[in-house]
Structure formats: structure tokens, C-alpha cells
Copies of this chain bind each other. A is one copy, B any other.
Amino acid sequence: MTNQKNHQITLARRPEGIPGPDDFTLRETPVPSPADGEVLIQNLYLSLDAAVRSWMKEDCSYFPPIPLGAPVRSTTLGRVVESRHPAHQPGDYVVAYACAAWEDFSVVAGDGLYPVKASPDFPLHYHLSVFSAMGLTPYFGMLDIGKPQPGETALISAAAGAVGSLAGQIAKIKGCRVVGMAGTDAKCRMLVDELGFDAAINYKGKNTEQLSREIAELCPKGVDIFFDNVGGEILDAALLNLAMFARVAFCGAIGDYTKNGPIPGPYHYWQILARCATVRGFLTLYYKDQFPAAIAEMKGWLDSGQLKFTDDISDGLDSTIPAFAKLFTGENKGKLLVRLTSEDL
């Protein structure tokens, strides 16, 4: 590897709002070497996830913030180049969950790697999208927290996103009435016409009261399951419409990631008590042992056409920053990945 260089995107400053080119620096460094217990991987695909934006904040909570000057921490799909860990051999494919970075090569702790295999049945990058922890987030969130029953009503925020679109389709498979919330009329039409949602709400420019009224109209028996990717006013509007004994799968708060300073929780937090509701936060990696069974079930639904899923792939490390911004402007069309290889895998 001595002739090769590593290109990496580092965090130049803490972004305000949607991250742009000035927040990052592209630099060339030597390819690093693994220490004992570590593995050098070549990153083939980067996963662009909203959570990364929260790691750029100084007061990031569940992970340490990305230090200024360090490469941007990321989940990637890579190939082992050199291993000083007994579980990994050169040539193996691995997913490095939240421990690699936006760069060509990463050195990571071998214990943190999740091994995956190429399959003749689907492209390798599915392990970073529909069969990744991201793709399985709606699976576990909807099934283990939402516990959908036929005839119940499920409401999904950011429903046109990678996680939300799967969450809604899974609720539909389980016999729920499914209402999605998205930020454009085109996305709302797509949810109903292409993904089989029963109804959709365009939330753009509407306040809690307006949203609450629209939810009430489309969910006349109340919301039994709220799959929350967004937080903020949408969460408040959903809380106002919870059915008794509702379940809220608290999966993310993308609406808050670009804000700084103290962020008030939902103004209608009280509804959790009034409706005897359950709000449960979850991080999909804690379900790791159940990934193979979940992937098998998801694959069955994909093959039968009950589940539809799209990747939004851009090419080259240079495309990372503009592609990442699409997560927050809502321009992405499916799961955002960056491809760093020209191989057909």
C-alpha cells in the first residue's frame, strides 16, 4: 500500500444549519497502518446518514462529537486490506458502523466491524442500505416498538426518506392504515401511488395546529403507532392525536440536528401520560444478533414486491458534501450512498 494515498474529508469547523463546503477540508495523507487488534479497510461505499450531522455538534449526546480537524466519522462498507485482528482476513467485506470515516482508507478496531458476504441475489451495497442497520431500523422500530396490529393506524414522519418509507411499508404489510408525512406534494403522491400508503400529508410551512388538524382528519381513530424521525412540531402534532396506549418509536430528530442551543422537548409531552402512551428510543445496533433473521424476512418482502426501496448513489469522494446536504433539503431520492470504487460488486 506504500504508493497509495489516502484522501479524506475533515471537519474544518462546527457547521451552522445545513453543512456546506466551507465546513470541511479535503486532504491527502499517507495510508495508515493498523495496530494490534485493528484492521485497515478500503472504503468502497460511504453511508450518508442524518445522525452524522448531530456528531458535528459540540454538544452531541450519544457519541463523542467529531473533533475539529478529524475526518468525518461515518458508517462505510469496506474491504479488508490488512488485518491485525483474528476475526478478519484480507479480502473480507465488512460494514464499519459509525467507526470509519469519509476517506479512502480507514483503520478501525476489528471488534467493531460487522462482516458481510457478497451474494449472487443482490448487490453488495445493499448491506449499507436496505440490509444495513439503517434499513433494519424501521424493521425493529416498527415491529418491536410499534407492535402493529391489523386495523391500527400508523403515522410516519419523514416518510419519503429511506427509513420512513420502509417503516410505512412494513406497517402496511402488517395490516395497518398508514399515513405518511413528507415535505413536497410530489413525495406525498409517491407515497400513496408507488408505496401504497393510505394517505399523505405535506407538512411544509404548517404549524403544530394545522398539522394536528390534518392528522386528525386522516387518522379519525387516533394514531396507534407514531414512527418519529423528525421531532419538533411534527412530533407535537402527532402527540395531540395519539390513541390510547399508543406507541411512539423514537428513531431520530432530524429537524433538531441543524439547530444549536437548548431545544425544547415536545410541548405536548403531557399527552404521553394522558394517552398512557409509550415512547421508546432505540439504536438498531443493539439488535445486531437478530440482523440475519431480519434480513431474511426483508428479502422475502422485497422479492415478493411488498417492499420497495431505492438507493441514491453518487460517485467519488468529491460528491460527498453536496450529497450529504440533500438529507436536510429533502432532495435525496432514497438511501444516500457515495461509491468510492469502479468495481461492479
Binding site for B on A (CB under 8 A): 61-62, 231, 250-253, 256, 262-283, 286
Contacts and interface: CB of A to CB of B under 8 A. Distances in A.
Nearest to A263: B267
A256 B270 contact: yes
B276 A282 contact: yes
Given A263-B267, A267-B265, A283 B273 contact: yes
Contact of A271 (B61, B262, B264, B278): B61
Given A61-B271, A62-B273, A277-B281, 14 more contacts: A251-B273, A252-B273, A263-B270, A264-B265, A264-B267, A265-B265, A265-B269, A272-B279, A272-B280, A276-B280, A276-B281, A277-B280, A278-B281, A279-B279
Instruction: Count the copies.
Output: 2
Given A266-B265, A269-B266, A283 B279 contact: no
A276 B62 CA distance: 10
Contacts of A252: 273
Contact of A274 (B231, B263, B275, B281): B281
A231 B268 CA distance: 12
A272 B281 contact: yes
A281 B61 CA distance: 24
Contacts of A273: 62, 250-253, 281-283
